[in-house]
Amino acid sequence: MEQKQTPKMSRRERKKAMTPEERKKRKRKRRIIWGSIIVVLVIFRLLLPYIVLKYVNGKLENLEEYYGHVDDIDIHLYRGAYVIKDIKLLKRVEKKGKTGEKDTIPFFKSPAIDLSIEWRAIFHGSIVGEISVEEPVLNFVKDRHKGEDVKADTADFAQLVDDLMPVTINRFDIHNGQVHYIDLEAKPKLDVAMKNINITATNLTNVTDSKELLPATLTASAEAYEGKFALNAKFDGLAKKPTFDMNVSMNSLNLVLLNDMLREYGNFDVKKGIFNMYGEFAAKEGKFGGYVKPFLKDLDVVQWNKQEGDFKQILWETLVASAAEVLQNQKKEQLATKVNFNGTFDNVHLNTWRAISFVLRNAFLHALKPSVDNSININNLKEDGKKTFLEKIFGGNPEKKEARKEKREARKEKREERKNERKKK
């Protein structure tokens, strides 16, 4: 005989069919499971800062030319963030005069670096991150930071950021930072600084406005010796080759406060003087163009100070003061020029003769305007204009010069090849 299958009971029916004792056991079992889960999560939450701290310090210790350390980590799960507290990086350098022996110099420190998910970008369908750095201090020491080191450091730190932030960075902020240039060999020791640096870079991964040619923006401001620095840029953060349009300015920097540096590197100092600077730069498809306009206002060079130097020193300061007096625009009391750049990032052309022409033009014809000219942009990397008198006489054609240089180098290589062939015979 066929056995009749017992119809399956629903969850609600099974619950009704339970005895009071079974219900108590079931509730007790649920409490144990949920209590265990909560305990595990609490323990994990308590241990997580130590796990992350060990991970971050491990990454910092593995940097080749640096030694880094973090004192503490704060975790903020509700906003998908963690804060690195009191980070310090020391650069390992070779001791002067002692080959093979290493020394350390302070390179970077910050009381807090916040790494988090950028929630606004989620509404645009992207999971990206943001980094906020509080009061960072960056030190560059003369003869200790070479060009090739900076290039290698950039790659190392880019990899470090990737390791510390598992998602792509879309926003970057710096609050109240400092950059120092230090010369330990100068007398007195030089420490030239730019302070109160604030930088904001947004849309680095083109989450919004992705159809624009330059969808990302960067703004920066800083203070240096009573002067105000400002930079504004639009760029494409995902472009394979640098693609940007930017302008920069420095206003009212007091040169008297930089007398230690002027004495060390220029062998003169000033009684008064204000430095201003304006520039525009743009790049696309590997090409680069722009200019910078430096201005020296109300410059007064110290002269005939027998207590500060010998006859050569006095003569040099007199020459500098006389040149500044002759070449400044008497009406505006400003010494100024305009230096043009163009070419590629591997081969930038500096138009020296045009710069000299602008010095003379500012002094004897028309004073240059202390402002941005709005003549360079992403679609116009090179200023149009007739050649100056000095360019016509001495400048020649840069393209022809470059072609002649290439031909000379090719002939030199052929001569070297012939010599090597003769030696082999």
Residues 312-330: tens digit of each pLDDT? 767 767 777 777 777 777 7
Position 256 scores a pLDDT of 92
Residue showing tokens 């180098």: 409
d(CA 317, CA 311): 10
Is the bond leading into 294 cis (omega within 30 degrees of zero)? Answer: no
Would 113 be classed as within a structural domain?
Answer: yes
In this predicted structure, the answer to whether residue 33 has a pLDDT above a threshold of 70 is yes
Mean pLDDT of 403-423: 74
pTM of the model: 0.76
In this predicted structure, the answer to whether residue 178 has a pLDDT above a threshold of 70 is yes
Would 332 be classed as within a structural domain?
Answer: yes
166 and 237: one domain?
yes
Buried b / exposed e across 116-151, counting CB within 10 Å, b at 16+? bbbeebeeeebebbbbbbbebbbbbbeebbeeeeee
In this predicted structure, the answer to whether residue 151 has a pLDDT above a threshold of 60 is no
375 and 408: one domain?
no
pLDDT tens per residue across span 67-96: 888 888 888 877 778 888 998 988 877 666
Between 131 and 401, the higher pLDDT residue: 131
Position 1 scores a pLDDT of 45
The domain of 187 spans 54-389
Would 315 be classed as within a structural domain?
Answer: yes
384 and 395: one domain?
no
309 and 374: one domain?
yes
% pLDDT > 70, the chain: 79
406 and 267: one domain?
no
295 and 402: one domain?
no
Confidence of residue 17 (pLDDT cuts 50, 70, 90): low
Mean pLDDT of 249-262: 92
Would 40 be classed as within a structural domain?
Answer: no
Would 17 be classed as within a structural domain?
Answer: no
378 and 231: one domain?
yes
228 and 174: one domain?
yes
Mean pLDDT of 30-36: 77
d(CA 41, CA 36): 9
Mean pLDDT for the chain overall: 79
Between 308 and 225, the higher pLDDT residue: 225
% pLDDT > 90, the chain: 19
Which long-range contacts does 107-111 make (Cβ < 8 Å, 24+ apart)? 107/66, 107/138, 107/139, 108/136, 108/137, 108/138, 108/139, 109/136, 109/137, 110/84, 110/86, 110/134, 110/135, 110/136, 110/137, 111/85, 111/86, 111/135
Confidence of residue 395 (pLDDT cuts 50, 70, 90): low
In this predicted structure, the answer to whether residue 236 has a pLDDT above a threshold of 80 is yes
Between 351 and 73, the higher pLDDT residue: 73
343 C-beta neighbours (distance < 10 Å), count? 17
Position 81 scores a pLDDT of 82
Confidence of residue 248 (pLDDT cuts 50, 70, 90): very high
405 and 291: one domain?
no
d(CA 115, CA 55): 15
Would 147 be classed as within a structural domain?
Answer: yes
Confidence of residue 365 (pLDDT cuts 50, 70, 90): confident
| 89 Cβ contact partners less than 8 Å away, ≥ 6 residues apart | 60, 63, 66, 67, 68, 107, 108, 109
| 199 Cβ contact partners less than 8 Å away, ≥ 6 residues apart | 172, 173, 174, 177, 218, 219, 220
Would 72 be classed as within a structural domain?
Answer: yes
338 and 421: one domain?
no
317 and 423: one domain?
no
- Listed range (117-121, 129-133, 367-371, 396-400) with the worst mean pLDDT: 396-400
234 and 322: one domain?
yes
In this predicted structure, the answer to whether residue 40 has a pLDDT above a threshold of 70 is yes
Total domain count, the chain: 2
Would 14 be classed as within a structural domain?
Answer: no
